[in-house]
Chain A
Amino acid sequence: MAGQENVTRNEARSSSVSRHVFDNGLTVLLKEVHTAPVISWWMLYRVGSRNEHTGQTGISHWVEHMMFKGTDKFPAGVLDKAIDRIGGSWNAQTSFDYTAYYETMPASQIDLVLQAEADRMVNAHFNVDDVESERTVIISEREGSENDPIYWLFEETNAAAFRVHPYHHQIIGDMADLKSMTRDDLYRHYQTYYAPNNAIAVAVGDFETQTMLARIKELYEDIPSGPAIPPVTRAEPPQQGERFVKVERYGNTHHIHLLYRAPEATHPDWFKLKMIDSILSGASAPGSGGGGNKTSRLYKALVEKELASGVNSSLSITIDPHTFSLIATVRDGRTPEEVQAALDAEIDRLRQGEIVQAELDKAKKQAKALFAYGTETVTGQAYWLAFAENFASYEWYETYVEQLEAVTLDDVREVAQRYFIPSQRTVGWLIPIKGEN
């Protein structure tokens, strides 16, 4: 029995999303798209690095890997082959606030993965041998990231920006924890967080809603609810002044990473800050990434002026307050001091209200086009519906353009002053050093 129904229209595609909440707490979102014979099926669990504590950092991501180690019904490797055999694609991702699994399939073959996700929600094997073999795979994944000097910079600035909140650590986890966590730790995490009451299921594609809903009910409605989800209690306390970290690694290039505090994605200021992100480094929209950035403020002030070889900004989309970040690669022959000064000057311009309506208009127009591109594949749409439902509701995604349209020049000037505060930022510099050879 569905406990709640809610239907809205997406004008752009003349198709609708329906929301259904089962008695066991599972939220199901369905959207028909009949432009190609494919369906994307997502199962998002409301657990990510945000839900981890010291000693078990990286556990959500490791559990994600264990979900591919098989069940009695689908032993390890069986689904890999079965999905490839029918031309589907599947994968998973772990983020700050969620762990999500997806399969995009030829429409006629969707039943296999509807069954598979229901099965592994409760029946995943956590064999000790598999845990040990995956331990080295995940350590290898982290070591691969460590090869990139910028990974170290991000890890350090992020850790400095969050002293208390679990956004402090990297999603992959600290090496010490990857070496020490046990099979029982992983299984406990799975039993706590993998349950219908903590999950969002989304299908987008070539199906009939009533038929799909009936089949999902058949497979998922009888899965029992899990325990109450432990609350995340460690809010980040107010910052007491600017923080500065230096990372020194062998290499050739300097990089700068700035983190300003930003609100959670449901905060009324989020879309206003998103406008500043577009003005600084070009527009982006859910599902299609960025457009160009060559007319943006940071490109003009840093790349055009031959101070940086590349520059970008981004605004986190998270349940709890996170950051507005700026990243610049110092151009060969230039100094980080020069680039830092140029970044600071751009932030000062914003704070002094130097923003004009034409910049907003351009950002809105760009975002509208990019948003339209993002609705062209079922996988992208299904991801954004699930992702938005996790931190707000799917309507956040569906009304993205309208919410951006509503932002005024005064809004933008006001948030520029409220968030770009020097004492509330973390500055990270990657300093290349030369080794012994």
Chain B
Amino acid sequence: MEIRTETLPGPQDIARHELANGIVVLVRENLHVRSVVITGALDAGSIFETPDTQGVASFTASMLLRGTHTRNFDTIHEMLEGSGAKLAMSSGRHTVGFSGKSLREDLPMLLDLLADGLRNPAFPADYVEKLRGQLVTNYKFREEDTRYIAGRTFRELAYPAAHPYSQPIDGTLASIETITRDHMIEFHRRQYGPGGMFIVVVGAVDTAATIQMIAERFADWRNPDQQPQPELPEIPSMIEVRQQVVPMQDKSQSDVVLGVPSLSRYADDWIAANIANSILGVFGMYGRIGAEVREKRGLAYYAYSRIEGGIGPGPWRVIAGVNPVNVPQTVAAIRDEIRRIITEPVTAEELADNKANFIGRLPLRLESNEGVAGSIVAMERYQLGLDYLQRYAAMVNAITVEDVLAAAQRYLNPDVYALAVAGPDIPAE
């Protein structure tokens, strides 16, 4: 697959500017549209929580736009909704992310609210209680969701209990009920600051003016107490099968999650592993697993695999929804495909198809401002370089059949995995 690399977003049209306090601003102009998107993150995710306040990062992030020292809830949301603008902030494991969209003329307003929410949240006591009730209700509703429960159970099995990846980001019912306003004020004081922060702006903007606007709102921000990203604990290699079935009442289908902790986005074999994953459970409507489980055997509406690589070693998982009587057959089919991908080299045709897909999908991914912004976020967060997209085709094309096999062998094993199943009681055979 040939692609004209000079047309891809790169150093020639992405401006990268570092403010004096370390905040990185990245801007790419797109004058074809009337809107602008902003997105970014800072180091304030759930990894910075103490064990007794699990969920405080998420609770805190959700409070940022519910009142600041100068604007109340109604003012903030009248400003946004009155202009058809959107702004959201939410916590991940390592960072708090934000994203917004507005017409170009409303960018100053959007940046005002972003800065106000991140820097000056007031955590109004009444809104803490309003939100707490919503979080409790949502938590209890998620407890009825087989897919969510299977995913949560998988994490508990796959990661050591002390590892931050073993826990849900949104806390437990007990913690949501006991986190106080003071906990949030303290978490904000200790963790919100310019450290690890970047802002990406894509759309109908002028680069220099945008950098200036962001500098005016953020360049004087300092927080000497802000903690840097901690070292992640080691994950001992799994050597056995760990499985758990969570019986749930009044359900028709079982959700199955089978996988292992795998690689981070920084791994040298990131692209090779992702090609292996694509062949296993993505390409051509769910790859080999889809062909076997959905097309050939008609067992499932969905059966696919994913690598969730971020700052640390995320899971490599196969996910399927099947009738409870078909769970054993599905698990066996998934294990067979894992066995195959670590023992037999993929075919030259499979490799060529997937390389072509990885490169050929760039135009679609980069059609929207959101797509371009997402690529720039990855370049900045994982230090890939502004020319990453332009080097990408060459990197993909360099991958060999042996690279794919080695990557699959490094992470996957049909006899060593965590398996979580949530759904109706599986009838005895």
Q: Is the CB of B140 within 8 A of A332?
A: yes
Task: Say yes or no: is B364 at the interface (Cβ < 8 Å to chain A).
Answer: yes
Q: Is the CB of B84 within 8 A of A367?
A: yes
Q: Is the CB of B140 within 8 A of A147?
A: no
Sample (19) of A-B pairs whose CB atoms are under 8 Å apart: A35-B33, A81-B284, A84-B284, A88-B360, A89-B361, A133-B296, A133-B297, A136-B298, A136-B299, A137-B299, A141-B301, A147-B146, A250-B144, A309-B138, A333-B133, A369-B85, A373-B101, A377-B367, A377-B368
Q: Is the CB of A251 within 8 A of B81?
A: no
Within 8 Å CB of B284, what residues of A? 77, 80-81, 84
Q: Mark A111-139, 1 if CB is under 8 A from B, else 0.
A: 00000000000000000000011111111
Stretch at the interface among B42-50, B54-62, B72-80: B72-80
Within 8 Å CB of A137, what residues of B? 294, 298-301
Q: State A38–B364 Cα separation when bound (angstroms).
A: 7
Stretch at the interface among B217-225, B244-252, B310-318: B244-252
Q: Is the CB of A303 within 8 A of B74?
A: no
Q: Is the CB of B250 within 8 A of A292?
A: no
Task: Say yes or no: is A4 at the interface (Cβ < 8 Å to chain B).
Answer: no
Q: Is the CB of B77 within 8 A of A87?
A: no
Q: Mark A146-160, 1 if CB is under 8 A from B, else 0.
A: 111100000000000
Task: Say yes or no: is A437 at the interface (Cβ < 8 Å to chain B).
Answer: yes
Q: Is the CB of B360 within 8 A of A85?
A: yes
Report the nearest B residue to A152, measured CB to CB. B250
Within 8 Å CB of A216, what residues of B? none
State the Cβ distance, A89 to closest chain B Cβ, in Å.
6
Within 8 Å CB of B251, what residues of A? 146-147
Task: Say yes or no: is B123 at the interface (Cβ < 8 Å to chain A).
Answer: no
Within 8 Å CB of A80, what residues of B? 284-285
Within 8 Å CB of B291, what residues of A? 77
Q: Is the CB of B285 within 8 A of A146?
A: no
Closest 4 pairs (CB-CB, A-B): A369-B84, A87-B360, A133-B298, A87-B361
Task: Say yes or no: is A283 at the interface (Cβ < 8 Å to chain B).
Answer: yes
Q: State A304–B67 Cα separation when bound (angstroms).
A: 13
Cβ-neighbour of A147 out of B130, B143, B366, B423 (below 8 A): B423
Task: Say yes or no: is B253 at the interface (Cβ < 8 Å to chain A).
Answer: yes
Q: Is the CB of B140 within 8 A of A252?
A: yes
Cβ-neighbour of B1 out of A87, A251, A304 (below 8 A): A87
Q: State A210–B249 Cα separation when bound (angstroms).
A: 59
Within 8 Å CB of B356, what residues of A? 85-87
Q: Is the CB of B249 within 8 A of A250?
A: yes
Q: Is the CB of B357 within 8 A of A87?
A: yes
Given contacts A143-B323, A304-B130, A332-B137, contact A84 B353 (CB under 8 A): yes
**Besides A332-B133, A436-B249, 17 other A-B contacts (C-beta < 8 A):** A80-B284, A84-B353, A85-B353, A137-B301, A142-B252, A147-B145, A147-B255, A148-B144, A250-B250, A282-B81, A283-B81, A291-B84, A292-B86, A362-B81, A366-B83, A368-B84, A376-B368
State the Cβ distance, A365 to closest chain B Cβ, in Å.
6
Task: Say yes or no: is A329 at the interface (Cβ < 8 Å to chain B).
Answer: yes
State the Cβ distance, A174 to closest chain B Cβ, in Å.
14
Within 8 Å CB of B369, what residues of A? 376
Report the nearest A residue to B320, measured CB to CB. A140
Q: State A436–B82 Cα separation when bound (angstroms).
A: 49
Q: Is the CB of A372 within 8 A of B367?
A: no
Q: Is the CB of A435 within 8 A of B84?
A: no
Within 8 Å CB of B77, what residues of A? 292, 294-295
